[in-house]
Amino acid sequence: MQLLLIRESESRIISRLFVFEFFQGAAIALYFLAAITIFVDHLPPSDLPKVFILSAFLLWLFGFIYNKLEHRLLTKQLIYFVLIFNGACILLFRTFIHLETETWFLYLFLASFNILYLLNNLEFWGLVAILFDVRQGKRLFAIVSAWDGPARVMGYILSILLGATIGTENLLWISAFFMLFSILLFMPLAKSDELKDIAPKDHHHYATQSLQHLQAAVTANKLIRNAAFVSFFSFCFYLVTNYVLYGYVKKQFHSDIALGRFFAVFLIVSRTLALIIKPLFVNRLLDNLGIRKSLLVAPIVLLILSAIAIFFSEKLIVPLHLFLVMAIVVDILRSAIQSPVLLTTLQPLPVHQRLKGHTIIKGLMDPFAFLSVGVLLIAIPSADNEVNLTLLSIILLAITVFWIFFALSVDSNYIQTLSAAIRRRLLDERDISVTDNDSLNFLFKKIESGTEDEALTIIQLLSAQTISHEKCYLAGLRHPSVRVKQLTIGYIRSQHYTALLPELKKMLQAPDVQVYLPQLLRSITALDHTEDISSYLTHENHEVSNAVAMGFLTYDHHAQKGKAYNHIQNLFASSEHRHLMSGLEIVGELKIHEFSDDVANLIAHENEKIKANAFLVAGKLGNANMLDKLLNEYGLSNKDKSILKALEIAGEKAVEPIRHFIQTRNPGKTKRYQLYILLGKIGGDAAAGLLQQCLQQFPADEYNVLSILYQPQFVAPANGYEYTLLLKKNMENASKHLLALDTLKQYNHTYQLLIRALELELMNIRDKCLFIFSFLYDREKIRKSKIGFELNTKESNANAFELIDMVVPKEFSVPFMLIFEQGDPSYKSMQVNKFFKTAPVTASSLINDILKDENYQYNEWTKACCLYGLKSQGDRLDITLVEPYSKSDNPILKETAIAVLEDIETSNT
């Protein structure tokens, strides 16, 4: 089902990520197999603890380096660095493999696997965190990570097939090829818009924060601290068992080929079993056993095996086989059960703490475990490189005891954290999943015994979970709070829980029933169509009678539907305002078209509250005649907001009435703009068609209409001919403005205000061109370029022009960049004149052109600036051009024109 939720664009990115991670995973698997095989073949197992210690320090070092680089490099640069570094490391070790007899070389060879694995995890999950947001991550992260296991298995299979033929050390060539091939696979991702100029610090995923920050997270939160210790002890157990296992297999296999085959089979078995167990059993195990028992599965099983190993420690064959079993079991249970369950326990934490907790559990504790186990194993006495199985078995038993202790602590801390999150109302049902029985039982009890706010939070949380809600809602009905009962009754009705119908009917006799009686009766009628509660239609509380009527009318074939209709007719026939409001409430909520005439009559009601509600109900019904009546009221009263809201509710049904209104009533510019905004909210082809019609009918509204069309996912007609013509017209106007600016700047400070107005006109035209570009070409790239212009930094403007040059044909991109890039107006005007021939202009002709504005080239602020500048230049002023603006709808332009006319009159007298 999860795959069905993936959008086409997401599917394309995910498929690329699959292949990208698959080759990296296979490369690292082949590297590890070659490294461990050659190491075990050449050195005794007693040297392995030294590699553990070296690994710990290398992990800390490279984690620190990565942390510094991710704050200095762009994301794609950082990923290229990691891929090249990992590939170069593999090639370097293959080139110098002749040093395999040198101890230091083998130490570094094997320890470097942990570096490659760390860097691979950091760069890949950092990339995923940038490509997908939090909401997408909830759906997609599990899918994205699904190929890690198969990639490793494929690497191990290749080693079996090719190891004997080409030699173990030559597997490194294949590993290096896979890693470097990943660079080619990353190139399409690097060119994606999401990674353009994005640094990891802009999308921090808490992967490599400083030790001080993570230490603070561990010490400040008991749940994270104890979960970290569970992860620590489980990894310690894993390292000790592998230490014993490597010593055992060294004695059994006497060539690197045989060793390589054993390790490959061993890893294939453990990885395959983990891949099978994780999706099939983890959720069921968690739901049935709860968090505590799920966390205890691994340590208890291993505790038993450790005890058996101690008992049979003198008979070497049995313990060594047991260690083989334990190595497989701990690997499977850690990855398939413990890790998912631990991450589940962190869900009640705030997001930033949860992310830090993930980082600590999934990686931070590994170097500590390497160091601790390495020191411990070196300290254990051994004779002739023989491991002390009895002592090691006792150590493993002790580790499992600590493991169990901290697992129990995690469960206790989880409940405490969940309680605290409920009290503080920090839980979001979209971000947390609660399905295990222990947590559910705790929450059910909390509903009954908790405060009103706690009960409300829990019920809202559990109502969104994929569980049986019967116990939850039963506890909610028994809570003393009326608000909790009302919320619960609403959920029972909406989710149609008929099993709780007897409990609802019992509540009719409750002493406090009057407070929530409306909700209760409506739910009973919704769940039981045969229940006759028509006597409540005459209840003195009109909320009760309305609820009963709505309950009857919710279902078409309800036996009491006729009585409900009669009740509504009586409400509309009444002269009491509260009855009329009740009738509107019922008709509006249920959209009962049979009462459209009654609603239409109330549109002109004398009571403003009834009138406003009638507007909204008319919008819900979407009747064309009523919508016409609404528009007849538009602009004539102070109810324009209610009318626009009602039209928005009507949606596409309102488009034709709006079209008729605009064509017949010719509303003013301000009223038209409000209708354009409304059409943008409605969206759809019909609304877009009307906006395009208005673009032709009202040239003065060009900017407003284009800006609205830019908002929804609007696409121009197939040839886009009208928009191409509009684009040319705007660029011609921009070239005229450039020439005008060059002319006006020759007059020093005389026309400073008008110069500024023309500069704003150019910005206005630039935006209109961007709007049209988005209709005709790559919408997303144009949108990004517009954002770049709005940021208005040197770098963002350069990137914006680069995007325009990429997606817009040269016919328009070249003049666009000439006009709007920073530069001298004289030079730009001369260059643009090659594309758009512009006649010379004088200051007087420009002023006349602005005030006449026959082609709707200028905004009203430019005309106002022009008039204001002419106050001191009466000799250039044509009074016939000023007088029309004294009656303008625009208050600034109107006041400026009146002031100019008054000055002229004063000067004449």
Q: Are 767 and 869 in a shared domain?
A: no
Give the pLDDT mean for 347-363. Answer: 70
Is the pLDDT assigned to residue 18 strictly greater than 70? Answer: yes
Q: Are 907 and 816 in a shared domain?
A: no
Is the pLDDT assigned to residue 134 strictly greater than 50? Answer: no
CATH of the domain at 167: 1.20.1250
When pLDDT is cut at 50, 70 and 90, the band that residue 52 belongs to is very high
Is the pLDDT assigned to residue 890 strictly greater than 80? Answer: no
Tokens of 340: 């998912």
Residue 395 lies in a domain: no
- Of 194, 215, 249, the position where a domain reaches its end is 194
Q: What is the pLDDT of residue 195?
A: 58
Q: Are 22 and 158 in a shared domain?
A: yes
Of residues 903 and 319, more confidence is placed in: 903
Residue 30 lies in a domain: yes
Give the pLDDT mean for 51-55. Answer: 94
Give the pLDDT mean for 257-276. Answer: 86
Question: What pTM value is reported for the model?
Answer: 0.64
Q: What is the pLDDT of residue 84?
A: 93
| Residues 671-697 pLDDT 10s | 888 999 999 888 888 888 898 889 888
Q: Are 816 and 881 in a shared domain?
A: no
Residue 97 lies in a domain: yes
- State how many domains the chain has: 3
Q: What are phi and psi of 209, to 5 degrees?
A: -65, 160
Of residues 879 and 447, more confidence is placed in: 447
Q: What is the pLDDT of residue 587?
A: 87
Burial label, 174 (beta-carbon count in 10 A; 0-12, 13-18, 19+) = buried
When pLDDT is cut at 50, 70 and 90, the band that residue 138 belongs to is very low
DSSP state of 757: H
Judged by DSSP in three states, 386 sits in: strand
* Whole-number percent of the chain with pLDDT over 70: 86
Residue 567 lies in a domain: no
- Please provide the average confidence, as pLDDT, over all residues in the chain: 81
| Residues 585-644 pLDDT 10s | 888 888 888 888 888 888 888 888 888 888 898 888 888 888 888 888 887 767 788 888
| Residues 717-758 pLDDT 10s | 556 788 888 888 888 888 888 888 888 877 766 778 888 888
Q: What is the pLDDT of residue 871?
A: 66
Residue 445 lies in a domain: no
Q: What is the pLDDT of residue 885?
A: 80
CB 647 within 8 Å of CB 632: no
CATH of the domain at 907: 1.25.10
When pLDDT is cut at 50, 70 and 90, the band that residue 536 belongs to is confident
Give whole-number Cα distances, 470 to 290, 488, 494, 506, 726, in Å: 19, 11, 13, 16, 62
Strands in 763-894 per DSSP E: none
Q: What is the pLDDT of residue 374?
A: 93
| Residues 450-469 pLDDT 10s | 888 888 888 888 888 878 88
When pLDDT is cut at 50, 70 and 90, the band that residue 139 belongs to is very low
Give whole-number Cα distances, 793 to 788, 797, 800, 820, in Å: 8, 6, 10, 14
Residue 66 lies in a domain: yes
Give the pLDDT mean for 115-135. Answer: 72
Q: What is the pLDDT of residue 27?
A: 92
Q: Are 781 and 902 in a shared domain?
A: no
- Of 194, 212, 233, the position where a domain reaches its end is 194
When pLDDT is cut at 50, 70 and 90, the band that residue 202 belongs to is very low
Q: What is the pLDDT of residue 436?
A: 73
Q: Are 31 and 180 in a shared domain?
A: yes
Q: What is the pLDDT of residue 218?
A: 55
Q: Are 769 and 903 in a shared domain?
A: no
Give the pLDDT mean for 529-533. Answer: 76
Q: What is the pLDDT of residue 876?
A: 56
Distance (Å, whole) CA 357 – CA 225? 9
Distance (Å, whole) CA 484 – CA 454? 10
Q: Which domain holds residue 802?
A: 717-832
When pLDDT is cut at 50, 70 and 90, the band that residue 384 belongs to is low
CA angle 777, 779, 784 (to 5 degrees): 120
Q: Are 782 and 885 in a shared domain?
A: no
Q: Are 62 and 160 in a shared domain?
A: yes
CB 336 within 8 Å of CB 278: yes
CB 590 within 8 Å of CB 620: no
Q: What is the pLDDT of residue 34?
A: 92
When pLDDT is cut at 50, 70 and 90, the band that residue 198 belongs to is low
Picking from 26, 338, 63, 384, the residue whose alpha carbon sits closest to that of residue 182 is 26
CB 357 within 8 Å of CB 349: yes
How close are the terminal C-alpha atoms of the chain, in Å? Answer: 85
Tokens of 66: 């990565």
| Residues 796-845 pLDDT 10s | 888 888 889 888 998 888 888 888 888 777 777 777 777 777 777 777 78
Q: What is the pLDDT of residue 714?
A: 63
What is the H or E stretch that residue 863 is in? helix 860-869
Picking from 556, 549, 560, 555, the residue whose alpha carbon sits closest to that of residue 584 is 549
Give the pLDDT mean for 657-679. Answer: 88
Q: Are 814 and 883 in a shared domain?
A: no
Q: What is the CA radius of gyration of the chain?
A: 37
Q: What is the pLDDT of residue 135?
A: 43
Q: What is the pLDDT of residue 85?
A: 93
Q: Are 761 and 866 in a shared domain?
A: no
| Residues 154-168 pLDDT 10s | 888 998 888 888 988
Q: What is the pLDDT of residue 130?
A: 65
Of residues 315 and 650, more confidence is placed in: 650
CB 159 within 8 Å of CB 264: yes
- Of 776, 798, 832, the position where a domain reaches its end is 832
Q: Are 847 and 827 in a shared domain?
A: no
Residue 25 lies in a domain: yes
Distance (Å, whole) CA 909 – CA 897? 19
Distance (Å, whole) CA 345 – CA 94? 43
CB 346 within 8 Å of CB 358: yes
Q: What is the pLDDT of residue 668?
A: 83
Residue 889 lies in a domain: yes
Is the pLDDT assigned to residue 519 strictly greater than 50? Answer: yes
Of residues 795 and 215, more confidence is placed in: 795
Is the pLDDT assigned to residue 153 strictly greater than 70? Answer: yes
Q: What is the pLDDT of residue 717?
A: 59
DSSP letters spanning 244-266 = HHHHHHHHH--SHHHHHHHHHHH
Is the pLDDT assigned to residue 143 strictly greater than 80? Answer: no
Give the pLDDT mean for 207-229. Answer: 65
Is the pLDDT assigned to residue 3 strictly greater than 50? Answer: no
Q: Is the torsion defined by CA of 807, 812, 818, 821 positive or negative?
A: negative
